[in-house]
Structures are given as C-alpha cells and as structure tokens.
C-alpha cells in the first residue's frame, strides 16, 4: 500500500528535480521502521514510520506536485497506519468473533473513503477561481480557529486521562 502510494510522489519528485535518492532513502527508512514496529509490537513507532514514509510525498506536494493525488495518498497512508496498529493491537492470540473483524474492516474502509472525499473537497474548493482579500482571509482564519476549537472540544475527554466509567 505504501509502495502504491509512493508511485505518483516519485513522478512529482522527478519533475521537481529533488535529490531522489535522499527522499527514497527516508521513505525506505520509514518502511523499515514500520517493519521494526510490527516486529517489536510497538505501537508508538507506527506514526513516526508513517511520517517518514510521507515525507517524500509531502515534499513533492510542497514543491508543486499533482494535487489530485494528495487525498488518495493520505487515505492509503491512513489505511497502512491503521493496519499496522491493528496487527500490533491484536498480536496476542485470542478467540475473535467475526463481527469484530467485519466492524473494524468496514470502519476503516468507510473512514478512509470519507477522508479521501474530504481531501478531494478541499482540493476542489482550492481550485475555485476566488480571488483573495481581507474579508476572505479573515473568514479563512475564523474557519481555521473554528476547526481547531471543534477538535479541542471533541478531544476534551481524551486529554484528561484517568479513571472514568
């Protein structure tokens, strides 16, 4: 999945004339880190591994790579990270009901598709021929603050780790 996601990024990097070997090295290190995380069953290593894999893609998009690929790449990265978490969390032997597997699979597929859709929406909105200006910038800032506030409100319980029913 990660290799699949890397293909368009490499095209973009070629066009941007970046030191391809360096970026591919970072990506390979990320894949190796992911393998180590799964071998050691260490969930805390998964996200750094995914970030390392995403660096070439991020660099490619920062340098003007093809934006339509971005949501798909994001969804693939998310799916890879989730499957890695899944492997680590369920590494220990247990009796599993099929219902759990179906639920997790559907939840993962659904949210990856939703995330991809959201990314495409962001790209589509960005492509709209709307010129800037003070009003639009202020609206953008307010929207960003609003999104941040919503995320903080949703995560208010999560930030307080401790005893709870």
Partner 1 sequence: MIRRPTPRLVGYAAIVALGAYGAVTLDRIALLALIAPFAVWLAFGLATAAPPELEITSRLDKERTAEGEEVLFEAEVLCRGRVGWLELQLELPGQLECDIPGGRIRVRPRRGDAQTLTWRLRPRRWGAYRFGPVLVLAQDRAGLLRYSARLGEPARLRVYPAFERLRQLVPPARTQLFAGNRIARRHGEGIEFADIRGFTAGDRVRRINWRATARTGVPHVNDFHLERNADVILFVDSFADLGLDQESVLSLAVRAAVALADGYLGERDRVGVVGFGGVLRWLLPGMGPRHFYRVVESLLDTQVVTSYAWRAIDVIPPRVLPPAATILAITPLLDPRTLGALADLHHRGFDLVVLEIAPERFLPRSGRGVDPLALRLWGLLRVARRRSLQRAGLIVLEWPEGVALETLLAQAREYRRFARRSVA
Interatomic CA distance for residues 143 and 136, integer angstroms: 10
* Residue selected from 18, 24, 78, 83 as contacting partner 1 according to rule CB under 8 A: 78
Per rule CB under 8 A, is residue 31 in the interface with partner 1?
no
* Residue selected from 16, 26, 31, 67 as contacting partner 1 according to rule CB under 8 A: 67
Per rule CB under 8 A, is residue 47 in the interface with partner 1?
yes
Task: Say if residues 64 and 83 touch (Cβ distance below 8 Å).
Answer: no
Q: Give how many residues touch partner 1 by CB under 8 A.
A: 61
Q: Cβ 95 to partner 1, closest distance in Å?
A: 5
Q: What's the first-to-final CA gap in the chain, in angstroms?
A: 38
Q: Cβ 20 to partner 1, closest distance in Å?
A: 19
* Residue selected from 16, 24, 26, 120 as contacting partner 1 according to rule CB under 8 A: 120
Q: Which is nearer to partner 1, 20 or 91 (CB)?
A: 91
Q: Which residues, at least 6 apart from 48, have a Cβ–Cβ distance to it below 8 Å?
A: 33
* Residue selected from 25, 105, 146, 155 as contacting partner 1 according to rule CB under 8 A: 155
Per rule CB under 8 A, is residue 111 in the interface with partner 1?
yes
Cα torsion 5, 9, 11, 14: sign: negative
Nearest Cα to 67, choosing from 9, 23, 135? 9
* Residue selected from 118, 136, 142, 143 as contacting partner 1 according to rule CB under 8 A: 118
113 token code pair: 């598709």
Q: Cβ 127 to partner 1, closest distance in Å?
A: 8
Q: Which is nearer to partner 1, 107 or 138 (CB)?
A: 107
Integer-rounded Cα Rg, in Å, for the chain is 19
Residue 33 exposure: Cα atoms within 13 Å on the Cβ side: 20
């Amino acid at each position: 999945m990660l290799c699949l996601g890397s293909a368009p990024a490499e095209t973009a990097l070629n066009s941007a004339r970046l030191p391809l070997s360096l970026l591919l090295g970072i990506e390979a290190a990320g894949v190796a880190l992911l393998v180590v995380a799964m071998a050691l069953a260490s969930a805390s290593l998964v996200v750094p591994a995914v970030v390392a894999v995403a660096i070439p893609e991020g660099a490619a998009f920062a340098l003007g790579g093809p934006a339509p690929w971005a949501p798909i790449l994001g969804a693939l990265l998310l799916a890879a990270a989730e499957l890695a978490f899944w492997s680590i969390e369920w590494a220990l032997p247990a009796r599993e009901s099929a219902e759990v597997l179906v639920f997790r699979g559907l939840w993962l597929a659904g949210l990856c598709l939703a995330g991809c859709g959201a990314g495409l929406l962001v790209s589509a909105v960005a492509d709209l021929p709307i010129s800037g200006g003070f009003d639009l910038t202020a609206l953008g800032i307010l929207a960003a603050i609003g999104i941040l506030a919503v995320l903080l409100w949703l995560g208010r319980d999560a930030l307080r780790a401790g005893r709870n029913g």
